Amino acid sequence: MDAADWDERYAQTELVWGAPPNSTVVEHIYGLQRRTAVPPDGDPPEFPRALDLACGEGRNTLWLATHGWQVHAVDYSQVGIDKGRTVASRLSRSVRGRITWQCADVTDLDAAGITGPFELVLMVFLHLPPEQRRSVVRRSAELLAPDGTLLVLGHDTTNLTDGCGGPQDPAILYTPDDIVADLGPVAAAHRIRIRTADRVFRPTETRDAIDALVIATRPPDQPTD
């Protein structure tokens, strides 16, 4: 699906995915220690910074902002971005002020002017062909601040045969091992640590859907003498 397809889908109903954030995101981010890195040439940001890739209508973005994160929300659907802004307009000014909405292609973050660093990067249900996925995963890890966390969550390959819903094209599905392999060179270069690489079973109205979850962290900067 391209941006026009998603624009059409988001325009058909009020909120395609509903208002609540993804439960797996909440489970793993709620208690996260939110340290902000001190830049060498200035003061640390007031709030920890999060990048929400393919944010859609902003359900995870809005939850993060209400829980003290400064969020950069990016999606290539202008309709999705506009709907996120509309929902945010009902929140307090302080929460709205912690969100930056941007309509852009997440497969080319440099062209979008997104350079980081971020204490958290979310890549939630962003399904791409393997080469594009690998590029986005690696660039996301490179954007992490010291002590930052990358959370990748999507429909697992086994969801096609053993789960429920989700994309039906096996070429854009992945396993936790696929994401770990994607991170390979960046993990070695930046000492990225894989904290979680597992399948998650998500209840639906019919049967469980199967998601792939990978959580990786970048270590803090080492003190120098």
Chain segment 57-81, per-residue pLDDT in tens: 899 999 999 999 999 999 999 999 9
pLDDT at 41 over 70: no
Order across the sheet with 118-124: list the strands. 99-103, 70-75, 49-53, 118-124, 144-155, 209-217, 193-202
**Each residue's pLDDT tens digit, 95-142:** 999 999 999 999 999 999 999 899 999 999 999 999 999 999 999 999
Residue predicted with more confidence, 205 or 60:
60
Q: Is the pLDDT of residue 38 over 70?
A: no
Residue 39 structure tokens: 């830049």
pLDDT value of residue 15: 59
**pLDDT of 225 higher than 50:** no
Q: Looking only at Cα atoms, what is the longest distance across the chain?
A: 59
In Å, how far are 43, 48, 91, 118, 182 from 63, measured between CA atoms? Answer: 26, 14, 11, 17, 28
All residues at 6 or more sequence positions from 40 whose CB lies less than 8 Å from its CB, including other chains: none
Q: At 9, is the pLDDT very low, low, confident or very high (cuts 50, 70, 90)?
A: low
Contacts of 170 (CB under 8 A, 6+ apart): 157, 160
**Under the phi-then-psi rule, with left for phi > 0, alpha for psi from -120 to 50, and beta for the rest, what region is 48?**
beta
Token code pair at residue 17: 């995915």
The residue written with tokens 């994160």 in the block is 69
- Coil vs helix vs strand at 43: coil
Q: Output the pTM of the full model.
A: 0.89
Total count of residues recorded for the chain? 225
Q: For 14-28, 53-67, 187-201, which range has the lowest pLDDT when averaged over its residues?
A: 14-28
Q: Confirm if 18 and 92 have CB atoms less than 8 A apart.
A: no
pLDDT on residue 188 = 87
> With 80 as the cut, is the pLDDT of residue 13 above it?
no
Q: Per DSSP, what are the bridge partners of residue 76? A: none
Lookup: tokens for 73: 């929300």
Q: Give the pLDDT confidence score for residue 32 in this predicted structure.
A: 79
